[in-house]
Amino acid sequence: MVRKPGRRKKKPSARSATVGDSLEPVRIGKEKAEELFRRQGIGIENGEKIEIHPLEAVYLMERGKLALENETMDSLMEKVRKEDPLAGEKYAVFRHMRKNGYIARLSFSSEPWIRIYRKGFRPGEDRTQWLLRIVGSGWHPALEELISDMKKAADARKELVYAVVEAGKPLFFKLGRTSFD
């Protein structure tokens, strides 16, 4: 690689990326994202770039694995909160799952769903095992909502799990159907 005179080399430990003004994916050059995508299961390949969810970027920034131009963890989190009222809860669940060795896939929309892979598997090696729905601490679901969630999980052939964040710590509970025929 040839550098132009007067340009400083960026820190080798952190990866650089750019982010848009709204809840758009953070795009990282493919050559810099090999470890994130292949080894850690973070991001989605899109041509010559890797796209990661802004909450994934916050997690990587917190761990010192990513540096964004003109962006801090707090400013990026604030952008996500404007678009998604459950952003704090999603981040707490995402961070918990990653720290415990799971690959978690966030939706780029403000939907409350996260797909979770079994431990030891990467995207493309296995299908997701769980469909995890983030809910607020004051959530009181109607029966129709629970049935709709169970149908969504069944259609996707996933196990349905709910996550509630209390005092910064996620609590998980599983809901399933059974038949006594």
CATH code for the structural domain at 85-181: 3.40.1350.150
Tokens standing for residue 155? 């259609």
pTM of the model: 0.79
Q: Which of 72, 63, 36 is nearest to 51 (CA)?
A: 36
- Residue 27's φ and ψ, nearest 5 degrees, are -105, 130
**What is 12-83's CATH superfamily?**
tRNA intron endonuclease, N-terminal domain (3.40.1170.20)
Check residue 10 and give its pLDDT.
Answer: 38
Q: What is the pLDDT of residues 41-58, one digit of tens each?
A: 777 777 777 888 899 999
Give yes or no for a contact between 89 and 113, defined as CB atoms under 8 angstroms apart.
Answer: no
User: Hey, where are the domains in the chain?
Assistant: 12-83, 85-181
Rounded Cα–Cα distance for residues 63 and 60 (Å): 5
Average pLDDT rounded to a whole number, residues 85-91 = 92
Please check the confidence at residue 129 and state whether its pLDDT lies above 80: yes
The answer to whether the beta carbons of residues 51 and 73 sit under 8 Å apart is no
Task: For residues 147-163, give the mean pLDDT.
Answer: 93
The pLDDT of residue 7 is: 42
The three-state secondary structure class of 58 is helix
